[in-house]
Amino acid sequence: MAVIEVVLGDITKERVDAIVTAANESLLGGGGVDGAIHRAAGPRLADAGSAIAPCDPGDAKATPAFDLAAVTFVIHTVGPVWDGGAYGEADLLASCYCRCLEVADSLDVRSIAFPAIATGLYGYPVGPAARIARTTLAATPTKVDLIRLVAFDEETYDALSGRARR
Ligand code: APR
């Protein structure tokens, strides 16, 4: 059973076997955390992404991490675009976390860092998204020993930690 930690910071600074990026279907890179990871990994990441694209919402695919020297793999997952919650967004978001762990297991990854998938540009409300992240990761069998949830701001940190905010 994996240990799940919540930290505040920049995911590109993590020293883990794999980091997850909140990508779009093209896997060519974008803004937000995806942009930060592509900048840190260098242009070969987009080349490798385009070679295995597209990636459907809820799915995940891996590439090397290239210039991210402290990381071996980047796992690209595509979250749901929030459209009010009645269009399968929760199932797709849970599938992202689940598929990332399946891909990680297939690569013998022992430590992995996740951003708060879909809570930025894709607009998924942070509280519900954080609950899905925690419950899905805790319920999914995996060989991974350490799961680090990396929040980029205090609100996301509190939500991922399970703390209520006023
Ligand atoms: N480290 C950790 N988390 C980060 C970082 C970073 N360096 N930069 C941004 N984040 C956080 C955001 O604050 C947010 O909490 O990642 C979370 C997800 O936000 P987005 O990156 O906007 O991802 P998402 O909502 O899934 O939207 C995906 O954005 O950039 C595009 O290509 C991407 O089209 C796709 C879409």
The structural domain count of the chain equals 1
Tell which one of 12, 33, 117 to mutate to probe ligand 1, the residue whose CB is within 8 A of the most ligand atoms. Answer: 33
User: Measured in angstroms, how far is the CA atom of residue 30 from the centroid of ligand 1?
Assistant: 9
Ligand 1 atom, smallest distance to 32 CA: 21
What is the per-residue pLDDT for 166? 46
What is the per-residue pLDDT for 164? 61
User: Measured in angstroms, how far is the CA atom of residue 115 from the centroid of ligand 1?
Assistant: 7
In a domain, 68, yes or no: yes
User: Measured in angstroms, how far is the CA atom of residue 37 from the centroid of ligand 1?
Assistant: 10
DSSP state of 57: B
Q: How far apart are CA 80 and CA 124, in angstroms?
A: 8
In a domain, 73, yes or no: yes
DSSP-based helix, strand, coil % in the chain, nearest 5: 35, 20, 45
Which residue range(s) make up the domain with 82?
Answer: 3-160
Instruction: Write the CATH number for 135.
Output: 3.40.220.10
Query: Atom 13 in ligand 1: which residue has the minimum CA distance?
Result: 152
Q: Who's near 43: CB < 8 A, 6+ residues apart?
A: none
Cβ–ligand 1 distance for 49 under 6 Å, the answer no
What is the per-residue pLDDT for 163? 81
Ligand 1 atom, smallest distance to 79 CA: 26
**Parallel/antiparallel/unpaired status of strands 146-151 and 111-114:** parallel
Q: Who's near 51: CB < 8 A, 6+ residues apart?
A: none
- Cis bond leading into 54, ω under 30°? yes
Cβ–ligand 1 distance for 95 under 6 Å, the answer no
**What residues does 4 pair with on adjacent strands?**
147
Per-residue confidence in pLDDT tens, the chain, 166 aa: 899 999 999 999 999 999 999 999 999 999 999 999 999 999 999 999 999 999 999 999 999 999 999 999 999 999 999 999 999 999 999 999 999 999 999 999 999 999 999 999 999 999 999 999 999 999 999 999 999 999 999 999 999 999 865 4
In a domain, 166, yes or no: no
User: Measured in angstroms, how far is the CA atom of residue 116 from the centroid of ligand 1?
Assistant: 7
Cβ–ligand 1 distance for 88 under 6 Å, the answer no
In a domain, 165, yes or no: no
Catalytic residues: 34
